[in-house]
Amino acid sequence: MTSDARPARPSTPTEIRERLTDAVRDGLPAAIADLSRLVRIPSVSWDGFDPRHVQESAETVAALLTDLGVFDTVTIERAPLPGSGELGQPAVLARREPRGGRPTVMLYAHHDVQPPGEEGDWQSPPFEPTLRGDRLYARGAADDKAGVLAHVAAIRALLEVQGSDPDLGLVVFIEGEEEFGSRSFEAMLAAHRELLAADVIVVADSDNWTTTTPSLTIGLRGNTAFQLNVSTLGHASHSGMLGGAAPDAMLALVRVLASLHDDDGAVAVEGLTSHTQEVPPFTEVRLREDAALLEGVSSIGRGEILHRLWAQPAITVTGIDAPSVQNASNTLLPSVTVKISCRVAPGQSAREAFMAIERHIRARTPFGAHVTFSAVDLGNPFLVDTSGWAVDDVLTAMEEAWGETPQLTGVGGSIPFIAQLAQTFPEAQVLVTGVEDPETRAHSPNESLHLGVFHRAILTEALLLARLDGAVSLP
């Protein structure tokens, strides 16, 4: 055999596993290089940022998928935003039809990223991938361009080992506006339902228990976000002349916000529910480290820490419109607006949660202050059905790739589109995996990807695809 001759196609499950392991390892430098090239594109999907970067990112992803040579179609698509004639950000869709009765798997990730924030908060430029130790630092390095490349690299490994014509059906859906609320997601699903239809859906947009122990996410909190305006006066008035008799809007607002939690910091809104869920041990020390609690600051809420994070509601004021300290005058504020985010426990709809919070606020607004609600954004929670055969397949693939028993975990954050996927494709099994770890700092300055986690995530997916293709059977 000549030095450049390809080895024969493996014939046993053990040989396939070994060859896939080698292919993923050997292909890792190319995957990191492709990821770095994608990360350099500042594809922020938010209004106010250049949409040409998101388009460039979509074109780069489409080229990566086309180069695989396995898809029947690869297209860049945009769908209308609700309530307007405008189009959302570009998504990349690809499909290969199944053969021989094999299932079809959808591989989801997103190529848009969060804004970088203040560049001075970064130890290296946010859109210049920088390797420090075993972590690659950049905005989007983990969330979620690593998810995109995990799909690409896993397919590459599968094709290298199994040949260019697998029986497995493949769908790839790389969204372009997940970080901006997936505003056109529902319209995209409606327009391309047949193309996207699959038996198994892999969402590579979550995290892992540690850098050495994988996780399968089985529960996600939903999100209810809105703006609350509180008004008490028709115009600003002199605080010395009328203060003490005329109520200012900030006083009313503070009273309202204080009513949302009890003395322990637990949510005190009647009608918001919790989910019954067993959770693994999680220490107060780890919480303090992960959240960077200042010395002397205590945690809030009651119950096991992970139950608070995964299965109980949480309410946070994330923004406020009021005069800055520098520009403050001695006046009674006539009106104040805040943005409120409520994480909704699995088992309760986001709509029901919003109605409970609205009732609570209206009933507890003091002094007859006027309140209005606007910019309401609802995303439902999600629970994975762990009884499906695909769950067994992915857990086995994780254990083979990581050498550790995977954890079944919840996530306190929200990925609302997963509930939409499950609603659109009710027969599909949804698997929520990811390339992140507790040190990733997604959305924050100095976001990073652990390259060992990236390697093992690719191998997990390659082994899973081989199982779904029928090449590797369950033990």
Q: Give pLDDT tens digits for 60-74.
A: 999 999 999 999 999
Asked about 352 being catalytic, the answer comes back as no
Which amino acid type is present at position 28? Answer: L
126 Cβ contact list (under 8 Å, min separation 6): 116, 117, 119, 138, 139, 445, 447
Asked about 178 being catalytic, the answer comes back as yes
pLDDT (0 to 100) of residue 85: 80
Query: Which of 27, 13, 60, 119 is closest to 446 using CA atoms?
Result: 119
> Both tokens of residue 251?
């006083």
pLDDT (0 to 100) of residue 473: 59
> Both tokens of residue 39?
């990360």
Query: Which of 194, 205, 187 is closest to 144 using CA atoms?
Result: 205
* Structure confidence by residue, pLDDT tens digits, 148-199: 999 999 999 999 999 889 999 999 999 999 998 899 999 999 999 999 999 9
Percent of the chain with pLDDT over 70: 97
What's the average model confidence in pLDDT over 378-405? 94
Q: Using pLDDT thresholds of 50, 70 and 90, give the confidence band for residue 335.
A: very high
pLDDT (0 to 100) of residue 414: 80
Q: What is the mean pLDDT of the chain?
A: 94
What's the average model confidence in pLDDT over 138-155? 98
Cα Rg, the chain, nearest whole Å: 24
CB 378 within 8 A of CB 453: no
Percent of the chain with pLDDT over 90: 86
Beta-carbon count within 10 A of 423 CB: 12
Whether 412 shows a pLDDT value over 90: the answer reads: no
List Cα–Cα distances, 44 to 52, 125, 357, in angstroms: 10, 15, 31
**E strands present in 18-168:** 73-77, 91-96, 104-110, 130-132, 135-137
Element (H, E) at 429: strand 429-436
Element (H, E) at 24: helix 13-39
pLDDT (0 to 100) of residue 413: 81
Give how far the C-alpha of residue 155 lies from the chain's centroid of Cα atoms, to the nearest Å: 22
Q: Using pLDDT thresholds of 50, 70 and 90, give the confidence band for residue 10.
A: confident
Architecture of domain 222-288+303-379: 2-Layer Sandwich (3.30)
What's the average model confidence in pLDDT over 382-393? 92
Query: Which of 207, 210, 208, 62 is closest to 143 using CA atoms?
Result: 207
Q: Using pLDDT thresholds of 50, 70 and 90, give the confidence band for residue 6.
A: low
Torsion angle, alpha carbons of 117, 118, 121, 127, to 10: 60
Query: Which of 180, 223, 260 is closest to 351 using CA atoms?
Result: 223
Whether 134 shows a pLDDT value over 60: the answer reads: yes
Q: Which among 77, 143, 175, 178 is annotated as catalytic?
A: 178
Architecture of domain 13-220+381-468: 3-Layer(aba) Sandwich (3.40)
Q: Which among 77, 112, 248, 437 is annotated as catalytic?
A: 112
CB 203 within 8 A of CB 415: yes
pLDDT (0 to 100) of residue 203: 96
**Domain residue ranges of the chain, discontinuous segments joined by +:** 13-220+381-468, 222-288+303-379
pLDDT (0 to 100) of residue 3: 45
What's the average model confidence in pLDDT over 197-214? 96
pLDDT (0 to 100) of residue 437: 94
Whether 1 shows a pLDDT value over 80: the answer reads: no
Q: Using pLDDT thresholds of 50, 70 and 90, give the confidence band for residue 2.
A: very low
* Structure confidence by residue, pLDDT tens digits, 433-466: 999 999 999 999 999 999 999 999 999 999 999 9
Q: Using pLDDT thresholds of 50, 70 and 90, give the confidence band for residue 12.
A: confident
* Structure confidence by residue, pLDDT tens digits, 20-29: 999 999 999 9
> Both tokens of residue 376?
């309401």
- Bridge partners, residue 105, by sequence: 170, 200
Give the residue carrying structure tokens 């260019």: 164
pLDDT (0 to 100) of residue 471: 63
**d(C-alpha 14, C-alpha 16), whole Å:** 5
Model confidence, pTM = 0.88
